Amino acid sequence: MKRVHVVLIIFYNENGDILLHSRDDSPEFWSLLGGSVEENELPLDAIKREMKEEIGFEHENSISFIKSYIHSHSEDKEYELHLFEADFPGFDQLKDSDEVKLTELKFFAVDQITNLKKLIFAQLIFDDFDTIKRR
């Protein structure tokens, strides 16, 4: 079975709200920022690279690992999701990219996220959110 490694990050603001991304190709759905792990790349290096590429995030020392998940996609493919968290540095510290526009990002209180349409990886994480949220 082929295993694809994916990294995702939860950004928290000072109120404990979580940053989500509404993508151009599916604007009615929300997800966490992240991307794929390249061959011979560690998940922590992948999330640092993805955040720098996607939003110009350069505060890599503030990124912490939370947990990994396995999601079976089909009989021949599964995903290993590596979840990280960081404090949000402020929109003034970030920039648009070809993949992510800052206008597509929005903070939500945790209780608001329950009612949002989410892409599958975000849904898996928020279904388990009581075990991973900041205390």
CA 93 – CA 55 distance, rounded (Å) = 9
- Span 127-131, mean pLDDT? 78
3-state SS track over 44-85? HHHHHHHHHHHHCCCCHHHCEEEEEEEEEEECCEEEEEEEEE
pLDDT at position 135? 46
Which CATH code of 1.20.120.160, 3.90.79.10, 1.10.510.10, 2.60.110.10 fits the domain covering 2-132? 3.90.79.10
Tokens for 108? 């939500």
The predicted model scores a pTM of 0.89
In this prediction, residues 38-60 reach a mean pLDDT of: 92
Decide if pLDDT at 80 tops 50: yes
Residue ranges per structural domain of the chain: 2-132
Query: pLDDT at residue 92 above 60?
Result: yes
pLDDT at 66: 93
Q: Which residue has the tokens 């960081």?
A: 86
pLDDT at 114 over 50: yes
